[in-house]
Amino acid sequence: MFQKFTKVVTNKYFNLSLIILSYLFLALAFRFFVIKENSFYPIYALAPLFFSLAIIFLNVLFIKVLPKIGRIIYYLLTVIINTIFIAVQYFHYQILGSYFTISEIFLSKEGLTYLYIIPKLINYKLFIIIIIFLIILFLSLLSLLKSPRTKLSLKSTFLTIGLIILCHLLGLASLLIFNNNEKPGSKLSPFYNYVHLEVPNRSIQSIGIMEYNIHDIIHFISRKLMGEKELKIYEEDVLEFMERNKPETNAYTGLFKNKNLIYIMLESGDDWLITEEYMPTLTKLKEEGLNFTNRYSPFFYGGYTFNAEFAANTGLYLTTDFNASSNNYFPYSLPNLFKNAGYTVNSFHMNAPSFYERGKYHLTFGYSNYYGDYNTPKYKEQGYNYVNDEAWLDNPETANLLIPKNQKFMSFLITYSMHLPYINNELCDAALRNGEITYNDYSELELKCLHYLSTKSDLMLSKLLAKLEEDNIIDNTVIIIFADHDTYGFSDKEYLAQVKHTKNIYLQQKTPLIIWSKNLEHQDIDTLMDTADLVPTIANLFGLDFNPRNYLSTDVFSQNHAPYVYFQYGNELKADGTYIDNSYAENAPLMLKYNEYLLKTDYYRKE
C-alpha cells in the first residue's frame, strides 16, 4: 500500500498537478470565498483564471529548472508569500471594507491593533478551506521531496513559456470581450482596472488576486521612480483652482479673535455614541455650541487616525503613501497660523513620538512641542494611566501643559480611550474585573465596552471644563472637538449600518464636529464639509492672517466653499446628498491629483 502511494506521489505528472493545484486553489478560494458578494465583475469570469494560470506556469517553470533543494525553497517561499498576501487581503477587506495596497506596508505595526477581530472572522467555511489547502500543500511538498529531479527539456521549456504567454493574452482578450459593455478607456471597464489600480476592489475582481499583487508592486515601484515628474501636468490647474478661493469676510470672521483654542481629535468619536447616557458632557457642548451635522472624515492613506490629524492641521489629505511628506514645509498649517499670531502651540498624545512618526510630523506641522510617550511605567507608578483620557487633567503636570497660564495658546489633544480594539483592551478588561461592565451574552460585550470607553473620554471633557473654570479662562477659550474617523472597526457591521443609517462605507464616514465657547449661540449647521476644511474655517473664525488661495480646502462659511466631499478612490458626495461613483465623479479625481501634486512636489517650499 505504501509503495503504491509512493509511486503515485513521485509520478512527475501527479507532482506537476499538485503544484499547479496548490497555487490555483489559493486564487480560486479567494475569488469564490472572499469576493463572491462583489458585483463589478462576475466571479465566473475567465480573465482572472487566465492571469492566475500565467503566473502559476511561470512558477512551475522556475521550480522545474532549479535543483532539488532550490525548487523546494522556491516553492515554499512563493506559496507562503501568496498565502500571506491573500490572508492580509481577506482580513483587510472584512475589517475595513477595502483591499490592502503595498504602500500600506509602512503601517503594519499600527495594523496590529486589529488582530483581536481576526478570530471572529474565521468561520467553518474558512476553516475547511484552510484544512484542504494544508492537505494539498503537504502532498505537494512530499511529492517534491520524494520524486527525483527530472531535467526540463528544451521542448518543455518553450512549451511552458508558450503557455505563460498564451494565458496572459487570453486574459487580456477576455477583459476586452467581456467588458461590462464599456469602452476600454472607461473607468467601469475591466481593462481600465487592469491598467490602472485606482480602485483595488475593482482591479482584484477584474484580474484576480495574484495578478493584482504583482501589478500593485510594479505600480508602487514606478510611482517611487517617477516621483513628482508625472504630476507636473497638474501644476497650472492646481494654481488656477486655488485662485478661486478669494479672500473674503463673512458673519463668522473673527468670532473668536484672540481667544485660546483647545483642539481635540476624539478617537473613534462617532456620532451615534454621543448620547446623554454615556457622553453627557459632549452632548451638552453639542447642544450649546455650533454642531456641524454634515461633516465627513474621509480616509485616504496613512492610517485612519493619522490621516485625520494630517488633514486637520494642513488642510490637505495624505493621498499618497505615508512617508511622502514628513519633511515637507507647511507654512500655512493651522499651528503655524496660530504661532504667527503670537500663540503658544503644542500637541499632546499618550503614545510614543515614533508611533506614526508623530514626534517628527507634529514639528513639521508647526507645533513647538509634541508631548507624548506618557503610557510608561513612570506615570503609571504615579497613578496616571494615559490610556484613560482623564489622566491628562488628573495629572497637574500635563494639565498645566495642556492649559498654560498667562499666555494665548493653541493645544491640540489626540484622545485615546476609545481606540481600537474596543474589547480586549486595558480599560475594558479592568471594568469587567471590577464589575463596572456586565453582560448576558458575549455578542453584547463589544458594544458595552465601547460605550464604557466613551465615558472615559467624556469625563476628560468634564474635567477640562472644570479646569478652565478654575483657571478663570473659560470665557476666553474655545473648544473644538472632531472625530478622527467613524467606528469602522466595530465588528458587528449590521449593527453599524443600522446606527449609521447606511451600508455605504463612505457615507458611514459622517462624523461629529462641535465648536463650543461659553455663551455662544447654538446652531445646527448642515453645510457639507470634510476634515480638511477645518483649517481655513478655524483660521477665519479666529481672525488669523491667512490667504484662502493657499488651500485646496475651503472655509465652510465662505461663498467659495466647495459643494462636495471626495473620497479615497475618486468617488464623491455632493451637497444635495447625491453619492457619485468614481466612474462619473468630476471633482474627486482632480482633487486627489491636486493633493498629491502639492505633497509630492513639496509645493509650499518652492513658492
Beta-bridge partner residues of 574: 564
DSSP 419: P
> Which residue has 511538498 as its cell numbers?
141
Here the cell at position 538 is 478655524
Q: Is 279 helix (H, G, I), strand (E, B) or coil?
A: coil
> How much helix, strand and coil, in percent to the nearest 5, is found in the chain?
55, 10, 35
Mean pLDDT, range 9-29, rounded to an integer: 82
Which of the 8 DSSP states describes residue 104? G
Count, in order, helices (H) and strands (E) of the chain: 24, 13
Sign for the CA dihedral angle at 171, 77, 160, 102 comes to positive
Domain total for the chain?
A: 2
Residue 599 confidence (pLDDT): 87
Could you tell me if 240 and 222 lie in one domain? Answer: no
**How, if at all, do strands 572-574 and 579-580 pair?**
antiparallel
- In this structure, are 511 and 565 located in the same domain? yes
Q: Are residues 283 and 159 in the same domain?
A: no
Are residues 495 and 380 part of one domain? yes
Q: Which of 226, 244, 265 is the last residue of a domain?
A: 226
* pLDDT tens, position by position, 24-45: 999 988 887 766 555 678 878 8
Residues 302 and 397 in one domain: yes
Domain's final residue, options 163, 192, 226: 226
Q: Which residue has the higher pLDDT, 95 or 135?
A: 135
Measured distance between the N- and C-terminal CA atoms of the chain, rounded to whole angstroms: 80
Residue 541 has pLDDT above 80, yes or no: yes
315: pLDDT confidence band, cut at 50, 70 and 90?
A: very high
Span of 119-123, 230-234, 490-494 with lowest mean pLDDT = 230-234
Q: Per-residue confidence at 554, pLDDT binned at 50, 70, 90?
A: very high
* Run of H or E residues at 607: none
The pLDDT, as a whole number, for residue 195 is: 86
Average pLDDT of the residues in 113-138? 79
pLDDT-derived band at 364 (thresholds 50, 70, 90) equals very high
Same domain, 272 and 131: no
pLDDT at 6: 56
- Residue 9, pLDDT > 60, answer no
The one-character DSSP state at 181 is T
Give yes or no for a cis peptide into 421 (omega within 30° of 0): yes
- Asked whether the beta carbons of 542 and 534 are under 8 A apart, the reply is no
Cα–Cα distance measured from residue 187 to residue 182, given in angstroms and rounded to the nearest whole number: 9
Confidence of residue 215 (pLDDT cuts 50, 70, 90): confident
- pLDDT of 433 reads 93
Phi, psi of 291 (to 5 degrees): -110, 110
* Neighbour-count burial for 400-413, b at 16+ CB within 10 Å, e otherwise: ebbbeeeebbbbbb
Compute the distance between CA of residue 155 and CA of residue 148 in angstroms, rounded to an integer: 20
pLDDT at 413: 98
Q: What is the pLDDT of residue 104?
A: 66
> Domain range spanning residue 84?
2-226
Predicted local distance difference test score (pLDDT) of residue 234: 75
User: At 197, is the pLDDT very low, low, confident or very high (cuts 50, 70, 90)?
Assistant: confident
How far apart, in whole angstroms, are the C-alpha atoms of residue 174 and residue 465?
64
Please report the pLDDT score of residue 217 as a whole number: 85
If one compares 322 and 32, the residue with the highest pLDDT of the two is: 32
The C-alpha atoms of residue 171 and residue 201 are separated, in whole angstroms, by 18
The pLDDT of residue 482 is 98
Given the DSSP bridges, would you call strands 344-348 and 369-371 parallel, antiparallel or unpaired?
parallel
Report if pTM > 0.85.
no
Per residue in 556-588, pLDDT (tens digit) is: 999 999 999 999 888 999 999 999 987 778 888
Judgement on whether residues 221 and 263 belong to the same structural domain of the protein: no
Report whether 300 contacts 596 (CB < 8 A). Answer: no
User: Which whole-number Å values give the CA distances from 128 to 85, 91, 135, 140, in the listed order?
Assistant: 19, 17, 11, 18
Of the spans 375-389, 455-469, 563-577, which averages the highest pLDDT?
Answer: 455-469
CATH number at residue 286: 3.40.720.10
Average pLDDT on 412-423 reads 92
pLDDT at 456: 97
What percentage of the chain carries pLDDT values higher than 90? 51
- Residue 5 scores a pLDDT above 60: no
Shared domain for 20 and 140, answered yes or no, is: yes
Residues 150 and 265 grouped into a single domain: no
- Cβ atoms within 10 Å of 605's Cβ, excluding its own: 11
Distances (CA, A) of 106 to 3, 102, 219, 322, 323: 50, 8, 16, 7, 8
Say what the pLDDT of residue 162 is.
93
Note whether 464 and 418 are same-domain residues: yes
Q: What is the mean pLDDT of residues 145-154?
A: 72
Residues 285 and 341 both lie in one domain = yes
| Range 7-13, long-range pairs (CB < 8 A, 24+ positions) | 9/139, 9/142, 9/143, 9/146, 9/147, 10/143, 10/146, 10/147, 10/148, 11/147, 12/147, 12/150
Sheet holding 564-566, edge to edge: 564-566, 572-574, 579-580
Q: Which of 54, 136, 508, 598 is nearest to 325 (CA)?
A: 598
Question: In 10 A of CB 30, how many CB atoms?
Answer: 24
Averaged confidence pLDDT in the chain: 88
72-81, 117-126, 287-296: range with lowest mean pLDDT: 117-126
Q: Is 523 found in the same domain as 495?
A: yes
Where is the domain boundary, 206, 226, 246? 226
More confident residue, 12 or 437: 437
The single residue listed with the C-alpha cell 479672500 is 247
Cα separation, 292 vs 531, whole angstroms: 11
Kindly indicate the confidence band of residue 379, based on its pLDDT and cuts at 50, 70 and 90: confident
- In the block, which residue shows the cell 465601547? 450
Mean pLDDT over residues 322-326, rounded? 68
Compute the average pLDDT of residues 500-520.
95
